[in-house]
Structure formats: C-alpha cells, structure tokens
Chain A
Amino acid sequence: MKPNTATSSSLVRGRVWLVVFGVLLIVVIVASMAIGKYPIGPGELVRTLLGRLVPGATAAPTDVQLVVFGIRLPRIAAAVLIGAGLSAAGAGFQSLFRNPMASPDILGASAGAGFGAAMAIYLGLGFAAVSGSAFVFGLVAVGAAYLVSTRARRNPTLGLVLAGIMISSLFTSATSLVKLVADPDNVLPAITFWLMGSLSSVTGLKLAWAAGPVLVGLVVLFVLRWKLNLLTMGEDEARSMGLNTRAVRVLVVLAATLVTAACSAIAGLIGWVGLVIPHFARMLVGADNRLVMPTSMLMGASFLLLVDDLARGVTTSEIPIGILTAFVGAPFFLYLVIGRGNRM
C-alpha cells in the first residue's frame, strides 16, 4: 500500500542515519584515543588496543597503556555518556513540554546541581562530596518543582514548567550568594571553574558512579520514545488515545532528571547539547521520536566527544567544555533560526 511504503521509506532513511551516526561515533571514539598531549600514532594505538582485547597478543608499553586506558578511556566514556544523556533528556523534555526550546535544565536540575556543588566546594569538601552534593541538589530542585506543580490541576504541564523556572532562579540566586561570600582567592575560582563545566577531572571511579543513573535514564527515555509522540499532542488528546499521561510524564521527568543531575555532578554545567542536538536530529530524520531519540543519543555522544577533543587538544591550558559547547551551539542555533525559520 502506498502510504505504508512511503512511511517505511522514511523509517528506512532514519535507520540509515542511525547507522551513519553509529559508525561516526566509533570513528570519533577511536580517534579520540590517539588525540592528546602524549602523542600516540595510529599503529601504536591499534597495537595497544589489540594487546588488551586479543588474548595472547603482545602488550603495549605500560606508559602507553596508562594513557589510553587509564586517562583517555574514562574521559571518552564520560563524554559519550554525557553527550548521549543530555541529548536524550533534551529530546524528552521538548516532547513533554511540546516546545522545541526546552532543554535538560528546564526544571532546575542543573541549577540545583550547581548550587549543590558550589555549597560543597565552599564548605571545603572533597571531590566525591562535591559530585554527590551536586547530584542530590539536582534531584531536590526538580522534586521541589514537581511538588509545586501538583498544585496546578488545570494544566499540569504548564504548571511544571513555571515551577521549574521559579525553582531554577531560586537555586541560581542561592549559588550567586555562595559565590559572594566565598573566598575570592581559591574557593571562588574553584566554584566558577566547576560551573563552567569540564571533563578534565573525570576519573574511572566518578564515571562508574555516574554511569548507573545515566544509563537507567537513557533506557527509560528510549523505551518511551513512541509514547512521547502522543504526549506532544497535549494532555487531552494523548489521554483520549489511551495514554496514561500522568505515568508517562512522571517517568520522563524522572529519567531526564536522573541523567541531567548525574551528568552535572561529574562534569559541571554543560549547556547547549541537550537543546541543539535534538533539533539537528529532527532536521535529518523528521519529528518521529522513534527515530529522534536514538539519533539524538548517537549524535550527542559524537558531538560532545568532538568538542571535548577540541577542549583538550587545541590549547595548552584547557578551555572548559561548557564554554566550547556554547561557542559551537549558539552560531548553529542562529543558523537554524535564520535559515530554516519555523520549519524546525
């Protein structure tokens, strides 16, 4: 039948994009292992990887192994996980709020995490406590926004976004207050640097700790990708099509918040990825979240990894990745607005 073939062709085209971005991600991952201050040639990289992966192959020198597996691999894995996570969270929130301008921090997860981290740094706590505090306050902020929104019965979605904006600004102000009273010689720079976002302090341990919540969130958002299509039709229509809108809404908020809070906890505040990547995915594969969700994950992973390569490769003193994502993201977004108008 005609429409059926038409749609399967768009599904096929979408799957082709998925394969393209899957391959791209693998290429970028391998390339990222070679990039850095300690130069590793392609041949040496292949020998190092084979030495670890293939039993019986000759192992590479320990210093090369340490650089690839001890330093670069955790950071690469973190960039992939955070890029995929923030993009999926963005796509989820954009559907939930029926607004292509929504981003992962819309309900205050990032603002809360920023406050949690600033507070922990101010109190002189260690790295683990800073991450933990950031994660917990990210959840607290969104939890508070959700609780406030349950008072708005007529339009739960609008209530949620308004509460999110309010709680966000509250936590942002609280962060400013902490910065105001912080010691300007060493504490304030530490807070400022954390807020700018960076993957330079990611260790295998931190990564292992954050991977759990991020992966759980990613799985939930992926499973719900078709239900998200219905949710974008609005509360009444979605419910009349048999969707338990309340359950799906809670799951999306929970999953996206777990992802955003965990990402912020280990890497600070990284903007733009969650906003821009789903747009880019929609330009290529259309509006259907069955394709937008996995495409966003793959694209976001490659994008953040590339930006991080830039961050650690281009300058000797590393540029925080939160700054670079905006430098890449903002012009691209302008291009979208000017070049494509309302067709996003």
Chain B
Amino acid sequence: MKLSIEGLRFAYHRHEVLRGVELSADAGQLVCVLGENGAGKTTLFRCLLGLLDGYAGQIRLDGDDTGRMTAREMALRIAYVPQAGAPAFNYTVFDTVLMGTNVLTPGLTTPGASQRDIAAQTLELLGIAELGSRGYAELSGGERQLVLIARALAQRSGVLVMDEPTASLDYGNQFRVMRQVKSLAEAGYLVLVSTHSPEQALRYADAVAVLRDGVVEASGAPGDVLTPAMIQRVYGVTAELHDVRTSWGDVPVVVPRFR
C-alpha cells in the first residue's frame, strides 16, 4: 500500500486550513505528523479518511484517487482510530471490535461466524482477549485505546490513521500503546499518527512530517527533521536534543529550556 497526497488544499468556509500539503508514505512505515494546535493535522486526517468533501488536490492509495471512492471502498483500504472517548451506549468490547468487520459484512446482513472469528483473532493479537465480555465504558483509557485499535484492525485494511492516540493516556499506557502501534508498522501496516510529542516521534517514527500554516514544513527521517531549530520554529520552545545511553540502547531525549 502506498499513500501519496498531492497539493491538498481545504478551507472551512473562507478560512483556508490546508494550503497545498504534499506527503507520501509506504507500507510498513510509522509516520508521525506533528504541528502546533490548529496547524491542520485533524483536517488533514479527515480529508484522508474521506470525511470532508470539497478539498482540492489529490489523495491516492496505490495510485487510486480516494475522492472517487464510496465510504465502503475507503473503509476497505484505510481505517480510523479515534481518540478514546465516552460512548453513548455501553457495548461490550467484543461487540465494539465486531463493528470493525462491518465492511466485510455484505449488504444489510449482520456479522456471522467468520466476522466473529476476525474480531476474536484481533483481540487475541493485541493481547486483550480477556476483555472481550467487559463493557467498553468500564475500561481504562489505555484499554479503550487498544480496543479502538483492535476495531480498526478488524477492518482488515492496510492503512491506519490515528488521531493523537496517546493524548489522554497516563505515562505507562502511552508507552504500551505506542509499542503496539510500532509493532503494527513492523507487521506491514502503513500507520499515520498525529502527536504532540517530538520525543515520541524521535523514538518510534520511521518518518515524520511537520505541518505548519497548512503546509508540510519539513518531512523525512525523524532525526533529520526534528532539530532544535525546528522545535523552536514550530512550538516556540528552546530545546536541546541528546542521545542518552541506557542499558537498553541509546534513547533520544528532548530537553526543553523551562526557565
């Protein structure tokens, strides 16, 4: 699966949010999208998922223009992992993941044995099979995020789009979720993640793209793009970058100047 975005422009009413975004990514890559609040990350993802009409430019998946695809055709190729929120109704974890198989469920039929198998396998894969019969509302934030990832995986599409998956998670769950996300990329998924943490991008991403004022200001290998100068320019924060030697290898650390 190959994703390429060319000259993507989008405006809410007259306010232009995206002004010609260029981005490409391949299967097996974890791509982190960074940028300050309002830089257009969410708008970019919503265009990518086919949730916003009326954009200019092109989004191609394996060369096919996604603008011409139906919701179903899109969902077969690209899946969305939203931020874990409070649900209106308390479905079980299993039923929640089963929703992901909707795109594999023909017409107006309800999911059958093969869809239930997919849901069960996906829960198994993420190591949360024991949560299956629990209510989604009774889970912790980290568990909810994993369930939503499982729901996206049950869609059996090649691209995963995640909107700040660690934003509301505690310290430990941030690592557990990102490790899972990283292993999905290693397994061959094309994963796009928006994040507010340059450190997270440096540690996990294969490539990063920095959005600023509706364009990709810089993209490429994390170490090349996320320099102190770039952090200063995007976030207005003076920071130093260090590789810290640990017993499990060298780890990049961003140290902001906070006085």
Contacts and interface: CB of A to CB of B under 8 A. Distances in A.
Given A3-B132, A4-B117, A237-B82, A230 B94 contact: no
A97 B62 CA distance: 36
Interface in B93-133: 93-95, 98-100, 102-103, 105, 108-111, 116-117, 119-121, 123-124, 129-133
In the complex, the 6 A-B pairs of residues with the closest C-beta atoms, listed nearest first: A3-B132, A242-B75, A6-B133, A242-B103, A240-B80, A287-B89
Interface of B: 46, 49-51, 70-72, 74-76, 78-80, 82, 87-95, 98-100, 102-103, 105, 108-111, 116-117, 119-121, 123-124, 129-133, 151, 155
Nearest to A244: B71
Interface string A214-257: 00000000011111011011011101111111000000000000
A8 B80 CA distance: 27
A225 B110 CA distance: 8
A242 B102 contact: yes
B91 A287 contact: yes
Contact of A100 (B70, B89, B103): B89
B103 A241 contact: yes
B91 A229 contact: yes
A100 B90 CA distance: 11
A77 B93 CA distance: 39
A3 B129 contact: yes
Interface residues of A, number: 38
A204 interface: no
B134 to A, nearest CB: 9
A241 B49 contact: no
A288 interface: yes
Contact of A233 (B76, B90, B99): B99
Interface in A287-301: 287-288, 290
A233 B102 CA distance: 13
A237 B80 contact: yes
A317 interface: no
B110 A290 contact: yes
A95 B98 CA distance: 17
Nearest to A286: B92
B95 A7 contact: yes
A240 B71 CA distance: 7
Nearest to B103: A242
B72 A2 contact: no
B102 A243 contact: yes
A95 B131 CA distance: 24
Contacts of A9: 133
Given A4-B116, A241-B155, A244-B72, A227 B108 contact: yes
Given A3-B120, A7-B95, A224-B108, A287 B71 contact: no
